[in-house]
Amino acid sequence: MKHTGNTILVTGGGSGIGQALAHRWHDAGNHVIITGRREAVLQEAIAGRARMAAYVLDVTDDGAVDAFVQLVLAQHPRLNILVNNAGIYSPERVTMRRDLAAAGRMIATNLLGPIRMTNALIDHLGAQPDAALINVSSGLAFVPYPAAPTYSATKAAMHSYTAALRPLLAGSVEVIEIVPPQVQTELAPGQSLDPNSMPLAAFADEVMALLHAADTPAEVCVEGVRYFREAEANGQFGTALQMLAQYS
């Protein structure tokens, strides 16, 4: 992945991991476009930063995505990197019958959203030099959190989807997966203050160091997520799953 001089689109870039990475890319000399559902949050994220732009977008809305892509490509024709970061989280009690609305929203946002964005931009990306597609998954893609099975499943699906795209796009679009551990963001209430979560700034710094390596890895795994990423290969999947289950 080229490190500077890109035009990068980050979904869910108004807060959390998306904002932290967007700011790091901007600081490195890239033009950065962020999207999200809250105008005020987006404007705060780009305040005082030239070469940053913000657009309100709901990635679950087919019509909104199509209209946005037409607009953003007209205004930013050199867009060459898509970062599918937008995501939502809801805990679930699956041991009894429940309303599935939250599960449906997670699937629509975390899985269908990136598929929709990739589909809308793939022709354009394939024609750009130094093009890249970056999907943000989770350590829970590899060891699911029993208290959030649908969220974990969407991230496992994103890992599989990303891996499947990589050989198909080889030579035209570089495909990268960022695999975060639990990070101090407001993805879940109180998570930003959780001492067991990785500080957001430290996460963003480590991700940038890995992305800026001589050879960008296909999977960007900070040290704090490696236990979960490698649990199955190391014969520790059951232990890791039980560890997460105690917090359910």
Instruction: Cite the active site residues.
Output: 151
Q: Where are the beta strands (DSSP E) in 63-183?
A: 81-84, 132-136, 174-179
For residue 198, list its beta bridge partners: 183
HSE (CB half, 13 Å, CA atoms) of 196? 3
**What is the token pair recorded at 132?**
């890249």
CA distances from 213 to 135, 171, 207 (A): 18, 19, 10
| Whether the Cβ atoms of residue 13 and residue 31 lie closer than 8 Å to each other | no
CA distance 152 to 140: 5
Of 8, 7, 9, 11, give the one whose Cα is nearest residue 114.
Answer: 11
Q: What is the rounded end-to-end Cα distance, in angstroms, of the chain?
A: 38
- What are the CB-based long-range contacts (under 8 Å, 24+) for 232-241? 232/142, 232/143, 237/143, 240/143, 241/143, 241/144, 241/146
Alpha carbon distance 233, 64 (integer Å):
41
C-alpha 150, offset from chain centre:
16
